[in-house]
């Protein structure tokens, strides 16, 4: 964000709301020339201590590390979105400790998961990177900004929430969301459309297209997230709601550029929570997309990829 007076800086953080309207065409038009696209990127591994981290890397340029949502592996990033990003940057998808193809045990708090992200980056020889976190991955990214600021160049927080401790008291996740998210089979198509897209027919149609793209991955899928890992992720979310040992108090010290974005009709984490998160981080700006939900970036893959890349490349934003 351009530097200015303290008052102006805080007001920009509070009111920098970009409500994207008049968007058309949900499906991606990107074909590109990236040789190693998401659909065919090979599984690679790096061992750090006793943990063997699985990852995929494709595209060229400065690295962007992507952090998964609840119950997700590398397989759950829509190729249309990450391939659009990989046209200009090196995309690194990975499974944190205890998730998917990675070994070890998943941490039971997001700050500890952030420590594992830092270990993974160190294992790849990455001293500084942009970070994109989706849902609980966005909570891990927030903890990374506080605990390992030297690693993060800029951060993008997708469909996520601040820790407990803000002035607002948000209702807990609804029983309907809990049921759909906790479906032991991974969720029916209707569950996934409900969780990740808006209820309109246009958003659900875009959701079906996204789900179809997720099935284009070549080769065997990653193993599903284990029950014990899910339990640890839920424990981490509970800890986050309770304030995660006062982590919110450190947000005023965050000086890295941060983009907070969400769909206007997110069934899990409301757009209002995104607004509060952007307000709490002095260096944040906010983008809300219409007629979309928790996976808004899969509904508008090209549009959001362009906005995100512009944010990451904007020379006015100086860490």
User: Could you write out the DSSP letters of every residue in 225-239?
Assistant: PPHHHHHHHHHHHHH
pLDDT tens digits for 9-29?
A: 443 444 444 555 445 444 444
Q: What is the pLDDT of residue 319?
A: 56
Distance (Å, whole) CA 196 – CA 300: 13
Name residue 52's beta-bridge partners. Answer: 47
pLDDT score, position 218: 93
Q: State the sign of the Cα–Cα–Cα–Cα dihedral 74, 298, 295, 87.
A: positive
Query: DSSP assignment of 113-179, as one string?
Result: HHHHHHHHHHHTT-SSEEEEEETHHHHHHHHHHHH-TTTEEEEEEES--PPS-SS--PPPPPHHHHH
52 HSE (CA, 13 A, CB side)? 6
Token pair of 257, please? 């550029």
The CATH architecture that domain 6-313 belongs to is 3-Layer(aba) Sandwich (3.40)
Please tell me the predicted confidence (pLDDT) of residue 36.
66
pLDDT in tens, the chain (319 residues): 333 344 344 434 444 445 554 454 444 444 444 456 999 999 999 999 999 999 999 999 999 999 999 999 999 999 999 999 999 999 999 999 999 999 999 999 999 999 999 999 999 999 999 999 999 999 999 999 999 999 999 999 999 999 999 999 888 889 999 999 988 878 899 999 999 999 999 999 999 999 999 999 998 889 999 999 999 999 999 999 999 999 999 999 999 999 999 999 999 999 999 999 999 999 999 999 999 999 999 999 999 999 999 999 998 866 5
Provide the edge-to-edge strand list for the sheet that holds 17-19. 17-19, 284-289, 258-263, 152-158, 129-134, 63-67, 90-95, 51-58, 44-48
According to the model, what pLDDT value does residue 23 have? 57
- Give how far the C-alpha of residue 302 lies from the chain's centroid of Cα atoms, to the nearest Å: 16
CB-based burial of residue 295 (10 Å sphere; 0-12 exposed, 13-18 middle, 19+ buried)?
A: buried
Residue with tokens 């996934």, as numbered in its chain: 192
User: What whole-number distance in Å separates Cα of residue 212 and Cα of residue 206?
Assistant: 10
> Buried (b) or exposed (e) across 175-207, using 16+ Cβ within 10 A?
eebeebbeeeeebeeebbbbbbbbeeeebbebb
- pLDDT for the residue numbered 318: 64
């Amino acid at each position: 964000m351009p530097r200015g007076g303290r008052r102006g800086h805080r007001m920009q953080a509070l009111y920098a709301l970009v409500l994207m309207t008049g968007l058309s065409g949900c499906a991606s038009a990107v074909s590109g020339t990236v040789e190693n696209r998401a659909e065919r990127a090979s599984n690679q591994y790096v061992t750090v201590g006793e943990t063997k981290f699985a990852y995929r890397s494709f595209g060229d340029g400065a690295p962007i590390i992507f952090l998964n949502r609840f119950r997700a592996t590398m397989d759950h990033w829509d190729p249309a979105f990450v391939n659009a990003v990989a046209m200009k940057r090196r995309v690194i998808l990975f499974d944190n400790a205890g998730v998917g193809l990675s070994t070890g045990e998943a941490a039971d708090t997001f700050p500890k998961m952030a420590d594992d992200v830092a270990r993974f980056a160190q294992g790849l020889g990455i001293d500084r990177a942009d970070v994109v976190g989706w849902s609980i991955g966005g909570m891990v990214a927030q903890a990374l900004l506080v605990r390992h600021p030297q690693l993060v160049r800029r951060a993008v927080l997708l469909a996520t929430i601040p820790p407990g401790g803000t002035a607002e008291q948000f209702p807990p996740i609804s029983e309907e969301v809990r049921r759909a998210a906790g479906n032991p089979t991974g969720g029916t198509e209707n569950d996934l459309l409900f969780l990740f897209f808006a209820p309109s027919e246009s958003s659900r149609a875009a959701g079906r297209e996204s789900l179809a793209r997720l099935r284009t991955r070549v080769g065997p899928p990653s193993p599903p997230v284990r029950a014990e890992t899910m339990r640890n992720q839920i424990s981490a979310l509970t800890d986050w709601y309770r304030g995660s040992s006062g982590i919110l108090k450190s947000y005023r010290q965050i000086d890295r550029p941060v983009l907070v974005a969400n769909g206007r009709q997110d069934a899990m984490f409301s757009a209002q929570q995104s607004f509060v998160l952007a307000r709490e981080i002095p260096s944040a700006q906010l983008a809300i997309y219409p007629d979309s939900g928790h996976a808004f970036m899969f509904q508008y893959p090209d549009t959001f990829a362009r906005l995100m890349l512009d944010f990451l490349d904007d020379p006015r934003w100086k860490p």
